Structure 1
Amino acid sequence: MTMTQMQAARAGKITDEMKIVAQEEKMDINVLKERVANGTIAICANINHKNLHPYGVGEGLCTKVNANIGTSSAFPDPEPEIEKLNIAIAAGAHSVMDLSTGNNIDASRHAILEHSTVMVGTVPIYQATVTAIKERGAVVKMTEDDLLHTIEKQAKDGADFMTIHCGVTMDVINRMRAEGRYMDVVSRGGSFITGWMLYNEKNNPLYERYDDILDICAKYDVTMSLGDGLRPGCLADATDHAQIQELLNLGGLVKRAWDRGVQVMVEGPGHVPFDQIATNMKLQKSLCHNAPFYVLGPLVTDVAPGYDHITAAIGGTMAAVNGADFLCYVTPAEHLALPNNQDVKDGVIVTRIAAHAADIVKGVPGAREWDLNMAKARKQLDWEAQMKLAIDPQTAREKRASRNPEGTTACSMCGDYCAVEIVNKYLGATIEHC
């Protein structure tokens, strides 16, 4: 019988995936095994995702970056999403999420899983909703069996983690309605389940059938990514009663999953004022028993459409410094359109910058050394070394080549008045010309 990574760790077994993660993260293998066993690290590795390079998410590991891709009803062709997948991986993403809602959801997921060497996440309620609309004419006609069947199908296909909005209950919705919100529910999955509950006057089937979902996750070693259906969609809604009540629910669900040997991540808020981010992160870690925390952004202002990858990166660094383990990218197209190829690259790179800035503070092995090596290369005006060390070497090379005469030692910003070159001259440092 197949064991999950958590079950194997609790049995004292070191899996191949644990060995790879420990080696790459420079973590003692027994420390890693202990943290997988207690749930503070998750290795998202479905037994059916055959070409996966495993990564760990959680305590003591470098901050991971996710890129969202997938079709929409306006753009249903899966082929461009494979190109985005390749761009995201080349830019350094550790995972992608297939958020497809178009007419080719199965084909899109199969193609992404076939081509992806990084973790793949899904949101099963998207496909269950599309099925309900096609077969019964409305989201609210979705059945419990639709949801369970979709979760099983996507798990069997190889999804490494799944966002499932189990924490949205009637109590949470009633708190939101009583308190009032400017943006109500902005999570797509959260809106689907909220609409279903209000129409059918029943509690969340994902909550009621949680044990059945855990059975599926345990069978394929799918990591449960407990979705934040009531995440704030604007700064004014951040850290309200509904958000915190859902978080309390998720804390209980974390324990239930761990009791079954199922790995868990918890998803966190979207739009949060900068001065509330640290509190949000520490609250989540406390209420959810130090489970790995996966956040979208957080975006620190609502007024920057076209630049929301930057507003998210600002919040992402603060979030990761204070406990977030996994950052979902935001692209320049957020709130505006389906991202194109350049948006995907920009989103990944900016989020990696945010993650790395946090890793320096968190003391992740190798993080400070990377920056120190760049400083040494700049001191020597060693441009080739600087290009190799850059987080985005392609863009760095292009800018260097396009704005500096060939063979120039300094850069065109300072030209003949390069501070580094002048001081090197009088301090006697060796300058390598490139």
Structure 2
Amino acid sequence: MNYTTQMDAAKKGIITKEMERVAAKENMETSQLMELVAQGAVVIPANKNHNALDPEGVGQGLKTKINVNLGISKDCNCVDDELEKVKVALKMKAEAIMDLSCFGKTEEFRTKLVEMSPAMIGTVPMYDAVGFYDKELKDITEEELLGVIEKHAQNGVDFMTIHAGINRETAAVFKRNERLMNIVSRGGALIYAWMELNGKENPFYEYFDKVLDICEKYDVTISLGDACRPGAIKDSTDASQIKELMTLGELAKRAWKRNVQVMIEGPGHMSLDEIKANMQLEKKLCHNAPFYVLGPLVTDIAPGYDHITSAIGGAIAASSGADFLCYVTPAEHLRLPNLEDMKEGIIATKIAAHAGDIAKGIKGARDWDNAMSKARRELNWEKIFDLSIDPEKARRYREESKPEDEHTCTMCGKMCAVRNMNKVMEGKNLNVLRDDD
């Protein structure tokens, strides 16, 4: 039987090679995964032109995945620097990389990224439009905006953020409800500005069927962008955010009728007590579509440490149903992240994702932690390093401060609880002040 997309195959009862690979990674029956893909509760972003892809699943019952944002800007436009980040991100096992390049002719970086990356690749075509056509925003036509989506699909991009929910209706709600931070989504702000400058409807909404034509042809997963995501905790869960979310739920159902896979993007900045309810709202209003969140950042006061504010919110979001976390680095709100910023962002987000998986009972999630606890009980330092989420840093910290007794660390020395309990439980003598016999 022939099929056009992973969802089309799933609805027809066809198990694709991508489904088989994802099921093996997730320790899930392929038939169960196929059913979840057919329902739209799981997506497998897999563009037909991305030949290097090692596919991942995102959604219900699967491990929480993380995304790394990369790409050139006008102020930092060295492709080689970004490609070096790509190599490190892949080594650190990020499941997705988004090319957010927003300057000049970005196709060079994008095509190299697709060629070398086994991780799924995402983009925001709206970022590329000005440079792609070398036109000011107002002068870009609806047909040209759709043309950028087609170009990215041809290049092999697996998922695209499309800000289709910020239509005239949503914009009217935004205008009537004052915000502290207005619209902070880069793509959302561009679309809103285009609409205002031209007095027209959002072309991604008005011509959504044409967007679906492209995505169905190449099997591109649509990541429905949240133009009205809150950029300040004061703006979270407001009328604009919820109105757009309702629109995204309607668009998801339209996409599924065309067998196009869909993710929903979400906040943003949000206080701790609102996160769980927001995850439930998305799942209800968007019919259990996979939820892709930025953070949420749980406070606005920590420039330079927003990988921490994001990881706190991300762990709660993942434990409450979020399926995909977009990383945040220490450079958030300040500059384009450098290589070290990227590493810190990846580690913080991986910790949040794993913590969320433990809390929501993902099969096998606790095995890693149990293995680490066993290695710690045995004071098996090499095993501890191997099991660490960042082995390089763990090993370096140990080497920088060596204890007198190799079975301990320089925090507790021979008062180490683990060492002493091992000795007592084995019936051995306990020497704290003297050398061991």
1:241 to 236, 239, 259: 239
Verify the 8 A CA contact 2:71 2:82 in the aligned structure 1: yes
In the alignment, what sits opposite 2:295? 297
Q: Which residue of 2 aligns with 1:25?
A: 26
Letter in 1 for 2:218: Y
Whole-angstrom CA distance in 1 between matches of 2:284 and 2:415: 53
Tell me whether 1:251 sits opposite 2:249 in the alignment.
yes
Cα deviation per residue 1:304-327 (whole Å; 9 max; x = unaligned)?
Answer: 000000000000011111110000
> What stretches of structure 1 of length at least 5 have no aligned partner?
none
CA offset at residue 21 of structure 1?
Answer: 0.5
2:184 aligns with 186
Q: How does 1:7-406 map to 2 (within 5 A)?
A: 7-132=8-133, 134-135=134-135, 138-405=136-403
Cα deviation for residue 298 of structure 1 reads 0.3
| Deviation digits for residues 104-129 of structure 1 (CA, Å, limit 9, x no counterpart) | 31111011111111000000011113
**Offset at residue 89 of structure 1 (A):** 1.5
Give me the whole-angstrom Cα distance separating, in 2, the residues matched to 1:320 and 1:208: 33
Q: Distance between the aligned counterparts of 2:63 and 2:360, measured in 1?
A: 9
SS in 2 for 1:346: helix
String of CA shifts for 1:324-358, please: whole Å, max 9, x gaps. Answer: 00000000000000000011111011100000001
User: How far apart, CA to CA, are the structure 2 residues paired with 1:429 and 1:314?
Assistant: 42
C-alpha separation in 2, matches of 1:404 and 1:392 = 19
| CA apart distance, 1:66 | 0.3
Q: In 2, distance between residues paired with 1:401 and 1:120?
A: 37
- Superposition CA RMSD, Å: 1.3
- Counterpart of 2:431 in structure 1 is none
For 1:137-177, what per-residue CA distance to the aligned partner results, in whole angstroms no more than 9, with x for missing partners? x2122211111111001001100000000000112111111
Distance 2:244 2:427 in 1: 59
For the Cα contact (< 8 Å) 1:227–1:266, is it kept in 2?
yes
Q: Is the 8 A contact 2:405 2:413 kept in 1?
A: no
Distance 2:267 2:369 in 1: 30
Given that 2:66 and 2:324 are in contact with CA atoms closer than 8 Å, whether structure 1 keeps it comes out as: yes
Deviation at 1:72, TM superposition (A): 0.2
Q: Give the letter for the 1:77 counterpart.
A: C
- The range that moved more, 87-96 or 243-252, is 87-96
Identical aligned pairs, as a percentage? 53
CA contact (8 A) 1:321 1:359 kept: yes
**TM-score, structure 1 as length reference:** 0.96
Paired residues of 2:236 and 2:270 also in contact (CA < 8 A): yes
Q: Given that residues 82 and 115 in structure 1 are in contact (C-alpha distance below 8 angstroms), is that contact kept between their aligned partners in structure 2? A: no
Is the 8 Å Cα contact of residues 270 and 297 (structure 1) preserved in structure 2? yes
Shift of residue 2 of structure 1? 5.1
